[in-house]
Amino acid sequence: MQVNEKTVKLRGAKVAPNFFRFLRIRPLAGRTFLPDEGGEASRVIILSHGLWQRQFGGAPDAIGKAIKLDGDAYTVVGIMPSNVQFPFGRGQSQFWIPQMFPAEELTRAWDPEDGTWQVIGRLRQGVALRELQTVLDTVAARWLKEQPNQRWKFKVYRWRGISPTLEKTLWSLQAMVGALLVIACANVGNLLLSRAFSRRGEFGVRMAIGAGRLRIARQLLVESLSLAGVGAALGVFFSWGGIIALDKFYLSELPRINVIGVDWRVLGATCLVSATAGVFFGIAPAWLAARVNVNESLKETAQQHSGGFLQRLFHDGLVVVQVSFAVVLLAGAGMMIHSVVELLRVDPGLGPKGLYYVQYDPNSVTRWKSDLDAAMRGGLSLKEARTEAYRRQVRLWVNWQDLILERLHAIPGIEAAAAKAEPAGGYGFQVEGRNDLVQLDKGVVSVRMGDYFRTVGVPLIAGRLLTKEDGVPGQQTVVVNERLASECWPGQNPLGKKLRPPSPPPGAGFATERVVVGVVKNIKDYWRDAEAKPVFYEPFERLAPDGETGLYFNIGNYIFRSRLDPAVLREPLMRLGHEMSPAVELIVLSSIEADLYRSTAPRRVMMWLLITMGGLGLLISALGVYAVMACAVARRTREIGIRLALGAGRGQVRNLFLRHGVRLIVNGMVLGVVVAITAGQYMESLLFGVTPTDPWAFSGIVVILAVAAGVACWLPARRAANVDPMVALRYE
């Protein structure tokens, strides 16, 4: 895009003229597209809020201004609000231009400038989603008969603005936060109740000298709310710190992390939850204070009141709740840690160290329109002209690619370089030994100017790799990956097996059979957790003369191997593009090793969040166990003194409290394991190589929790064993 004599690269979307009206989105300024806009005669554009701010400084007079997009002049007619991010997300959906779809356009032959269109619609009132799916299945079956080489399939799903996996992740994190809140509230409630019981004497004295019960209850409620307010303020402070940490450590690894922030609605909900917790756990102490018997409270000290059965049951129940939810948090953290470890151990099928991915923009090399016009002037029909123009374009691309590879090899420090393209979608193929169509993906790789397989270091399982001789037109040898071999010919030797499309698409040059000459490992060059697809590989070079359909996608992508830092290579790679004729821009330079590690970022972030919440849950639970045990020792000091005076050993006293604490911990752990296994079924799709009953995760949390809770029980029990009977009974 050219604005004010400055050229910038942007990403936008072509949309139907009714796109914004259909989604009921109103512009911040200007208007949306008119129904007749979208043709050559009306070049209009709508800008995102971010682009408007960056390129026009947020000026209101941006409406009506002309800008150049890919050499064509467009008029700005609207500005979208900052929250409009469809379809690519914030920072990616930077502009929208209208695209009309006449009937002849929808039924014409394939055009290499066509992209992939997303289709959205509103379900008619009273129509179920499964009814629409049935209709589309019928359409797919009809299209399959007309074009048997394609496996047409429609999948309808309700648009919710968020992917199911991400939604499940967020709900899981929300549940973990809720579990941590329950632990904290149970701990605070236990402490407040213990403190209220220990202050019975104080309340009795104050009531005896004229203080009203309502006034004391109001004081306890205010204390509880104040405690909740301070906790909420500290929580907001730490949340800011957490966002800064995420931004610092994962800015380049997580999509749209720059939009994460503390929203005022989140702050409001946090304050509401804190206030509710404060009121809820402040009512019980206030109610107990209002029911204090003045005469009885003046007769006993805090140590003399050991509490009734219901009080002890309530305290013990809260401890069990804390421990059980701590087990859930720790189990989630343990399973996610194991998932990340398993993910990092995945064999990507190549040697990622020192392997780099580079992409140049091939648009300046595109001569599709001029070649089409030339073919039309030559007397060809539109269908024939499209085929001929595309064949010319593919030959131009392959020649251009060879020149790029030649110059890549000439850069000092680059040891090997190759090219690879991945045509969009898959093809229905017939394979030897099977009657049904098999959906296969195709990888088109270089073998002449750069050997792709040897550059990336993919292991050969059987047979041989592609060579320069395989790039000669007329050869039909291919190499397949393990997934294709096992899926198409399970338990058989795939070498020499054949595969072919049932009928060639118009203008395509691959009507003949392919013969398998080698099997390589499944390659994962970006996502470690991606499921391997059945893929066969064939050379670029032998497809160029026929101009095979599908090469348009990902032209300009290269792989090279080097021991140098990418920062050192960026300048010569940019210079290489500028020295081409025509000049091309360097779009991407990235490390395959870094990309593979970056692909684990979502699980690593969730792992650290769960570790943090699990650690906090463990700490709070341990403190809660310690506090309850310490309060029990303090309340039963008189009883301990009597036991010791009557001859009980200190070990017996210590074991008395240890048994009580261990019983609470075991009950909490058993309950927590049951809840964790149940919750793990929901999280199963978020795990990798781990089951919800992962023995390593549960063994680890049992040991960690047992040690932490054991220490929390041991310290008060040891204190009880060290009580001096004379001090405990001095007032008796």
- Which one, of 645, 659, 654, lies nearest residue 721 by Cα? 654
pLDDT at 113 (0 to 100): 46
133 burial (CB, 10 Å; 0-12 / 13-18 / 19+) is: middle
Q: Which contiguous run of DSSP H or E holds residue 519?
A: strand 514-520
The mean-pLDDT minimum among 208-217, 254-263, 546-555 falls in 546-555
Between β-strands 6-7 and 2-3, what pairing exists: parallel, antiparallel or unpaired? antiparallel
Residue type, 220: L
Is residue 328 within 8 A of residue 179, CB to CB? The reply is yes
Longest pairwise C-alpha distance within the chain: 119
Tokens 């029909």 correspond to: 381
Stronger pLDDT, 145 or 295, i.e. the higher one? 145
Query: Is 497 a residue whose pLDDT tops 60?
Result: yes
Band of residue 519 on the pLDDT scale cut at 50, 70, 90: very high
Question: What mean pLDDT is predicted for residues 306-318?
Answer: 70
pLDDT at 508 (0 to 100): 45
Work out the end-to-end distance of the chain between its first and last CA atoms, rounded to an integer number of angstroms: 91
Beta bridge partners of 72: 69
Q: Which residues of 139-171 are buried (b: 16+ CB within 10 A; e: fewer)?
A: eeeeebeeeebbbbeeebeeeeeeeeeeebbee
Question: What mean pLDDT is predicted for residues 473-484?
Answer: 86
pLDDT in tens, 346-371: 888 888 889 998 888 776 666 666 77
Band of residue 495 on the pLDDT scale cut at 50, 70, 90: very high
Q: Which two tokens stand for residue 141?
A: 């079956």
Query: Is 260 a residue whose pLDDT tops 60?
Result: yes
Query: Is 684 a residue whose pLDDT tops 60?
Result: yes
Is residue 511 within 8 A of residue 159, CB to CB? The reply is no
CB neighbour list of residue 551: distance below 8 Å, 6 or more residues apart:
394, 397, 398, 421, 423, 444, 540, 543
- Which one, of 636, 631, 712, lies nearest residue 195 by Cα? 631
Query: Is 160 a residue whose pLDDT tops 90?
Result: no
pLDDT at 77 (0 to 100): 93
Taking CA 346 as the corner, what is the angle to CA 328 and CA 360, rounded to the nearest 5 degrees?
A: 120
- Judged by DSSP in three states, 416 sits in strand
pTM: 0.72
Query: Is 100 a residue whose pLDDT tops 60?
Result: yes
Is residue 412 within 8 A of residue 562, CB to CB? The reply is no
Query: Is 175 a residue whose pLDDT tops 50?
Result: yes
Is residue 326 within 8 A of residue 616, CB to CB? The reply is no
Residue type, 263: D
pLDDT at 292 (0 to 100): 64
Task: Classify the phi-psi angles of 243: left when phi > 0, otherwise alpha if psi is within -120 to 50, otherwise beta.
Answer: alpha
Band of residue 502 on the pLDDT scale cut at 50, 70, 90: low
Band of residue 147 on the pLDDT scale cut at 50, 70, 90: low
| Residue 469 DSSP symbol | G
Instruction: Tell me how far apart the alpha carbons of residues 253 and 327 are, in angstroms, rounded to a whole number.
Output: 30
Band of residue 731 on the pLDDT scale cut at 50, 70, 90: very low
Stronger pLDDT, 23 or 193, i.e. the higher one? 23
DSSP notation for 527-550: -TTPPPPPEEEEESTTTTTTT-TT
Q: Highest mean pLDDT: which of 202-216, 402-416, 461-475? A: 402-416
pLDDT at 238 (0 to 100): 81
Is residue 310 within 8 A of residue 259, CB to CB? The reply is no
pLDDT at 46 (0 to 100): 93
Query: Is 551 a residue whose pLDDT tops 70?
Result: no
Band of residue 302 on the pLDDT scale cut at 50, 70, 90: very low
